[in-house]
Structure 1
């Protein structure tokens, strides 16, 4: 009887550890691979969140939170110096600053207005005046606008390890 109880306990533990196969509907329909240009890690567009969904995630995050994410958004600005960062529209006038993991790849500087998919880590940060001025300069902002930057700003940030640009 004791061996039978051990066998049953073993069976319960083994079946509880079995992965569940849950079929999920894609959040966003996948697109044929030929329609994308890859940068960084090769990623897929399957189950990418929309920018509106990502904005809701950002709104619920605290400064110390991070969130592994895959989402799509429209490019509003790119670093004019060498494409080392870009900004994506989230909706309601909000945007996220996307930088690239380990500074290992850059974006073409002519992609403003294009739809992209980014994979990486989202976080909320407080950007210093110095950093804001640096990014404004790299974005080609006029000196008068750069000089008006005078206080620390809460920003939505993203470190991407892979980017897909819709051709």
Structure 2
């Protein structure tokens, strides 16, 4: 009878250790926080929509329409002069031009490819040729590339009051 009792105790101990390990793993995953650098107004990461969903909103908007929004996207490009604007990837070759409310803050110039959460107003805009050329110059485009800009462009735009940069 002793070997059976010993076997039962061993099984219970092994099972007990296995459950504690699983609980610890779940707890670690739940308490893991993503670190962000904050720019502009303080915002939280909760409730941000994906860039793909934001693109669907933009497609239904008309020139002059605007909506309050918070979205997560990847940075394509940043103003290399001051960090005063950035473009974000919206999927399928589409992007959104982000400026910062009242030029109240700027972004680091080396964040292309990083993930951000932007909070503010999304709108559809028509950007005049001179402004498009200014952005091309800020982005470090060649004079030939800048000279090829000859027509205004309908763009997806965003005025951010706060940005979180994923670390």
**Contact 1:31/1:45 (CA < 8 Å) preserved in 2?**
no
Equivalent residues in 2 for 1:47-62, closer than 5 Å: 47-62=47-62
**Contact 2:119/2:162 (CA < 8 Å) preserved in 1?**
yes
Alpha-carbon deviation of 1:33? 5.8
Alpha-carbon deviation of 1:150? 0.4
Q: For residues 123-156 of structure 1, what are the alpha-carbon distances to aligned partners after superposition, in whole Å with 9 as ceiling and x for unaligned? A: 0011000000000000111111000000011000
Gaps of 5+ in 1: 1-29
**TM-score of the superposition, structure 2-length normalised?**
0.80
| Partner SS state of residue 81, structure 2 | coil
Q: For residues 78-106 of structure 1, what are the alpha-carbon distances to aligned partners after superposition, in whole Å with 9 as ceiling and x for unaligned? A: 00000000000001100000000000000
Alpha-carbon deviation of 1:111? 0.3
The residue that corresponds to 1:97 in the other structure is 97
The residue that corresponds to 1:44 in the other structure is 44
The residue that corresponds to 1:66 in the other structure is 66
Q: For residues 62-91 of structure 1, what are the alpha-carbon distances to aligned partners after superposition, in whole Å with 9 as ceiling and x for unaligned? A: 112100000000000000000000000001
The structure richer in helix per residue is 2
Which has the higher Rg, Structure 1 or Structure 2?
Answer: 2
| Partner SS state of residue 91, structure 1 | coil
**TM-score of the superposition, structure 1-length normalised?**
0.80
User: Is residue 2:140 matched to residue 1:153?
Assistant: no
**Contact 1:78/1:85 (CA < 8 Å) preserved in 2?**
yes
Q: What is the root-mean-square deviation of aligned Cα atoms in Å? A: 1.5
CA distance in 2, matches of 1:31, 1:49: 22
Equivalent residues in 2 for 1:116-155, closer than 5 Å: 116-155=116-155
Deviation beyond 2 Å, 4+ runs, structure 1: 30-34
**Contact 2:118/2:162 (CA < 8 Å) preserved in 1?**
yes
Gaps of 5+ in 2: 1-29
